[in-house]
Chains A and B, each alone.
Chain A
Amino acid sequence: MDKKVCDLLIIRNIKLNHDNYLLELESDELLGTIVPGQFVNVLVPDAPSTFLRRPFSIHETNISNNRFSILVKVVGEGTRKLGLLQPGNHLNVIFPLGNGFSRPKNYEKILLIGGGVGIAPMMHMARESKELGAEIHILLGARTDKDHILIEDFSKHGPVYLTTNDGSLGVHGFVTHHPVFSADHHFNRIYCCGPDPMTHAVAAKAAQLDIDCEVSLENMMACGFGVCLCCVTSTTSGNQCVCTEGPVFNTKQLKWQI
């Protein structure tokens, strides 16, 4: 689908917990096709210290209403401003950007892994994969029980497994410590999004278990549509832009030391 720059209407801005917001946006034009794993680049209004746009994964879509949502974790001035936006405000957005995850086959069994705000693209992915007929399992990692969000929504699409770094909810430890990996699941593919150390650990685990693995990367970028060449990652085909060749890469493409 063609990329476009639009002022989207904010329908809702829901505070999910102490530092996460779910922003639902509506376009007055048809949205077109959005692939799970694609992202948007958002111009933060009234934030002079935020010079560049901020990229966010598309969390979920509602094509019939021309709506989609993004998950915003407050980490700085720009995301703090986004948390303050009200329904009726507009947000200038470039979308849809990036390649998105591969589509699972209807007979496949897949594991979706999200860490922290990296759970964002997995809602759209879980719903569409289920609609395609795949069997979905969802593994979510967070620092503490207070950082876990949207568990009920995820559980509509398949069994949800949880880990926390401090053991306050689910399995104590990182996502790779969860017994779902040792169980007799025989996943066809793992899809993963989260902080760098987590995606590396998942990639290593997948390689050890000989499971195909796709990761969504979150490199810093200036433009989001392949012209600034700032967000590159080293791949078997040389340096590639995370914004256009990614953000999703099969771990076999990446030159990671795992």
Chain B
Amino acid sequence: MTASGTFGNGVEFDDFIDINKLGGILLKGTTLHHREGNDYPRMAETPSGMLNAVGLQNKGAQYFCEHIYPKVARYNTKVIVNVNGSTIEEYIELTQQIAELEHIAAIELNISCPNVKEGGMAFGTSCPMAEQVTRAVRKVYPKTLIVKLSPNVTNIVEIARAVEAQGADSISLVNTFLGMAIHAESRRPVLSTITGGLSGPAIKPIALRMVWQVAQAVKVPVIGMGGIMNATDAIEFMIAGASAVQVGTANFIDPLITMKIIAGIEEYLNRHKMSSVNELIGSLQM
């Protein structure tokens, strides 16, 4: 799969790859109302990674249903909408609109965006709030509900168990880590928002650890992500217990990377005489 916010609405990749070869695509985070996002600069390159502070720039639910949905409905893969809100009511209203769309296979409930002032990560860093929003959305969404967790918590296992108990069908993790960058010469922050979300291989070991912990603690399938740059990284997440993986920041650097990762996983399975990735999932040898 592709991670939300790194793959546009898929159409941006039509020149590069056959999207139908992917397990699924996660569309850019959507909110009920239009959002302009944060001011420039929104990005800082950091050692083995990058910080972003886009702030959920998107044209809102109505535009999505009228203009983006018809373009993505033609894909023969699982098209998943990343759902964001600043209040429970916004999450519910947006989910209800998405639930009407036949060719959307699932939603990913984003309770982990670090780049918006209100809502977002606030829902993902408190157990009671994570439970509340998952329960509310579960009531209005009959199809597959994925909940995307923030790593900016003391105990991610508690949050994972809480959203599972409220009916999440799957858990994806991790979103970006809150970080910052400073220009030493000017003594100014690099990002307009001062802080932003860190992604890329810099976060991989932490993400891998969190996926391993969560996969042991819940029964629902876990989708792993965080700094996957190649097939070996993806395989490691599956060994740690992820049933599927999302590739994020690597899409910026190599728009063909998802195809290379799929080929690399197949090559690994053949080499290890495995008939399916199921033999790989949670196969960590201790």
B43 is contacted by which of A50, A230, A234, A238 (Cβ under 8 Å)? A230
Contact residues of B: prevailing secondary structure: loop
A220 is contacted by which of B41, B46, B48, B49 (Cβ under 8 Å)? B41
Q: Is the CB of A230 within 8 A of B52?
A: yes
The yes or no answer to B63 lying at the interface (CB within 8 A) is no
Mask of B1-43 contacts with A, CB within 8 angstroms, 1/0: 0000111100011011000000000001000000011011111
Contact residues of A: prevailing secondary structure: loop
CB contacts (< 8 Å) of A43 on chain B: these are 253-254
A3 is contacted by which of B16, B47, B49, B253 (Cβ under 8 Å)? B16
Please tell me which stretch of A18-26, A104-112, A173-181, A221-229 contacts chain B, meaning at least 4 of its Cβ atoms lie within 8 angstroms of it. Answer: A221-229
The yes or no answer to B45 lying at the interface (CB within 8 A) is yes
CB contacts (< 8 Å) of A223 on chain B: these are 251-253, 255
Q: Is the CB of B16 within 8 A of A227?
A: no
The yes or no answer to B97 lying at the interface (CB within 8 A) is no
Chain B residue with minimal CB distance to A230? B43
Q: Is the CB of A227 within 8 A of B7?
A: yes
Given A222-B43, A239-B37, also A5-B255 (CB < 8 A): yes
Given A5-B255, A239-B37, also A226-B8 (CB < 8 A): yes
Q: Is the CB of B253 within 8 A of A232?
A: no
CB contacts (< 8 Å) of A153 on chain B: these are none
A221 is contacted by which of B13, B36, B43, B48 (Cβ under 8 Å)? B43
Q: Is the CB of A225 within 8 A of B255?
A: yes
- Kindly provide the distance from the CB of A174 to the nearest chain B CB, expressed in whole angstroms: 22
Q: Is the CB of A49 within 8 A of B47?
A: yes
The CA-CA distance from A232 to B251 in the complex, in Å, is 19
The number of chain B residues touching the other chain, given as a range, is 20 to 34
- Kindly provide the distance from the CB of B158 to the nearest chain A CB, expressed in whole angstroms: 32
- Kindly provide the distance from the CB of B62 to the nearest chain A CB, expressed in whole angstroms: 16
A51 is contacted by which of B7, B15, B49 (Cβ under 8 Å)? B49
- Kindly provide the distance from the CB of A47 to the nearest chain B CB, expressed in whole angstroms: 12
The CA-CA distance from A231 to B39 in the complex, in Å, is 10
Given A5-B256, A51-B253, also A229-B50 (CB < 8 A): no
CB contacts (< 8 Å) of B156 on chain A: these are none
- Kindly provide the distance from the CB of B255 to the nearest chain A CB, expressed in whole angstroms: 6
The CA-CA distance from A229 to B200 in the complex, in Å, is 16
Q: Is the CB of A4 within 8 A of B16?
A: yes
The CA-CA distance from A3 to B16 in the complex, in Å, is 7
Q: Is the CB of A53 within 8 A of B16?
A: no
| B residues whose Cβ falls under 8 Å from a Cβ of A | 5-8, 12-13, 15-16, 28, 36-37, 39-43, 45-50, 52, 54, 57, 200, 249, 251-256
A-B contact pairs, 27 of them (CB 8 A): A4-B15, A4-B16, A5-B16, A43-B253, A43-B254, A51-B46, A52-B45, A219-B40, A220-B41, A220-B43, A221-B43, A222-B252, A223-B251, A223-B253, A223-B255, A225-B12, A226-B8, A227-B7, A227-B28, A228-B43, A229-B5, A229-B28, A230-B42, A230-B43, A231-B40, A231-B43, A239-B40
| 15 other A-B residue contacts (CB within 8 Å) besides A222-B45, A228-B54, A232-B37 | A5-B256, A43-B254, A51-B48, A51-B200, A94-B255, A219-B41, A223-B251, A226-B8, A227-B7, A229-B37, A229-B42, A229-B57, A230-B52, A233-B40, A239-B40
Q: Please name the 5 residue pairs, one residue from A and one from B, whose CB atoms are nearest each other, closest first.
A: A230-B43, A227-B8, A223-B252, A3-B15, A222-B252
